[in-house]
């Protein structure tokens, strides 16, 4: 089946620094990648949709200059949290659409201290 590899699985960073999260589709081409954020005991919230070779589409309330998304190839999409603050601490998950439906990455736990 389709596999989306997400790294890192967890990261701790200092306030003000930037963190990059990568998602790779291992055995299929992901034309579209979705990025979600999930707070404890809450549902996944869509942050943005990225399409290979074009600018990402951000959901209302999501700062595009803070959450930089790059989808330079059909197998790699990255989310960079710039100038991270403690309130950005959350669980970030990517998802790609394949012939098997939507496949999710394993998630990245970001803690900003």
Partner 1 sequence: KNQVEQSPQSLIILEGKNCTLQCNYTVSPFSNLRWYKQDTGRGPVSLTIMTFSENTKSNGRYTATLDADTKQSSLHITASQLSDSASYICVVSAEAGTALIFGKGTTLSVSS
Integer Cα distance of 76 and 79 in angstroms:
10
Please report whether residue 6 would count as binding partner 1 according to CB under 8 A.
yes
DSSP string, 34-53: EEEEE-TTS--EEEEEEETT
Please identify which residue in 58, 103, 110, 112 interacts with partner 1, judged by CB under 8 A.
103
Q: List Cβ neighbours of 16 (8 Å cut-off, separation of 6 or more).
A: 83, 84, 85
- Residue 22 vs 91, nearer CB to partner 1: 91
- C-alpha 68 chain-centroid distance: 10
Segment holding 24, helix H or strand E: strand 19-25
Provide, rounded to whole angstroms, the least separation between the CB of residue 102 and partner 1. 7
Please report whether residue 105 would count as binding partner 1 according to CB under 8 A.
yes
Please report whether residue 109 would count as binding partner 1 according to CB under 8 A.
yes
Please report whether residue 34 would count as binding partner 1 according to CB under 8 A.
yes
Give me the residues that bind partner 1 (CB under 8 A), please: 4, 6, 34, 41-44, 46, 49, 91, 93, 95, 100-107, 109
């Amino acid at each position: 089946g389709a596999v989306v590899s997400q790294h890192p699985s967890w990261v701790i960073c200092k306030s003000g620094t930037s963190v990059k999260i990568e998602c790779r589709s291992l055995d299929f081409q992901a034309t579209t990648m979705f990025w979600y954020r999930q707070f404890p005991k809450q549902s996944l919230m869509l942050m943005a949709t990225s399409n290979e070779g074009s600018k990402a589409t951000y959901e209302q309330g999501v700062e595009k200059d803070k959450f930089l998304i790059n989808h330079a190839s059909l197998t790699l999409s990255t989310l960079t949290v710039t100038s991270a603050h403690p309130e950005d601490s959350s669980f970030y998950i990517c998802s790609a659409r394949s012939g098997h439906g939507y496949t999710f990455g394993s998630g990245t736990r970001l803690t900003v201290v």
